[in-house]
Amino acid sequence: MQSLSMKPACAQTQRRGVGAVGRRVVVIRAQAAPSAPSSSVESISGVRQEVVDAIAKARHNCLTATNLPLPNRRQGKVRDTYDLGDTVVIVTTDRQSAFDRLLASVPFKGQVLNQTAAWWLGATAHIAPSALLSCPDPNVAVMKKCAVFPVEFVCRGFMTGSTDTSLWTHYKAGSRNYCGNAFPDGMRKNDRLAKNVITPTTKAEDHDVPISPADIVAQGLMTQAEWDTVSSAALRIFEFGQVEAAKRGLLLVDTKYEFGKDADGVIHIIDEVHTPDSSRYWLADTYEARHAAGQEPQNIDKEFLRLWFRERCDPYADAVLPEAPAELVCELSKRYVYLYEKITGQPFAVPDLAVPVNERIIANLKKAGICK
């Protein structure tokens, strides 16, 4: 098992801060918050030095926006989608989103998410079919077009989280029934749940809203049959992911899925699966001891960045957010790469940094006959 050390991920340099209002990205100038507290973030080892060096070089060449010669572009928090009729081209960018805001741009994040999702979609095809058709570029997925259920299926195995929709946030505020799930008194943050649960949210444009299965059906967001089919598939995929993660010394803590129906009415999983962005991972071998000592689990996800913002501002309400330190941005990139290699067993392929990512994507889409 790798270790977490106090070694900085990369040197910090001054740059512009970025923020967002809903889905619309707004670039702002802000002073970097004091960097001293960030030095306490444990740095993951086990990533090849050539990748670490490439991360530092790529910080100012991230894919933050796309402008492909394709129609019907729609920008989401992380992904840009181009609707081609029967198919959609989804480009996963390097934008780092949390609290319904854009926090930073993380080198190679888009490539890691896209390729990790493709691996998991293939590995879980025996549970539910996916809409994935091909990946003509490291950052691009071509998907079968589906009518998306306006619900995110959040699966949880632990009492944790820091966002407004997290289980721990609601539990510590006194709630003992959340999204139709009952929880006993006396639980502590990061406790393992007695069983995995689903805490669904609606897919609002500006903020996800928790909702119960009964309300999903009552509001006509899904039929009871659709909910039964999808919720069962979501829990099976989550349990499969937990088993596979355990084989690799990891705990798959929680995750989210999206599903939709194709033109023939067949339900598909349509979005990322068990990526570092959609999921929380902890190191399995240190969890019990750290939890017993009241320490936070060693995590390999973006939670440390969310906590950094939580400690310095109100990320939901403040108009201007502090700038994420370069050290944390590089550390997050390392963790993304580490998880990709740990999960898939494949070495991360560093792209040619001399070629702008947008240019590379367009060239690969032309090769695939997707654009002219």
The pTM of this model reads: 0.85
Torsion-angle region of 265 (φ positive above 0: left; ψ -120 to 50: alpha; else: beta): left
Domain boundaries, the chain: 49-368
pLDDT of residue 207: 72
User: In this structure, which amino acid lies at residue 327?
Assistant: E
- Residue 77 C-alpha from the chain's centroid: 10
Low-confidence ranges of the chain (pLDDT < 50): 1, 6-7, 11-39
How confident is the model at residue 101, as a pLDDT? 86
State which CATH number among 2.60.120.260, 3.40.640.10, 3.40.50.300, 3.30.470.20 fits the domain covering 49-368: 3.30.470.20
What 3 state SS string does 59-112 have? Answer: CCCCCCCCCCCCCCEEECCCEEEEECCCEEEEEECCEEEECCEEEEECCCHHHH
Q: How many residues does the chain have?
A: 372
State residue 259's pLDDT score: 98
For residue 97, the model assigns a pLDDT of 86
Residue 10's pLDDT is 61
Token output for 161: 């989280």
Residue 43, pLDDT score: 85
Contact 5, 42 (CB under 8 A): yes
Q: Quick check: helix, strand or coil at residue 192? A: strand
Residue 286 CA, chain-centre distance (Å), reads: 23
> Quick one: pLDDT at residue 98?
84
DSSP label at residue 321:
P
pLDDT for 31 equals: 39
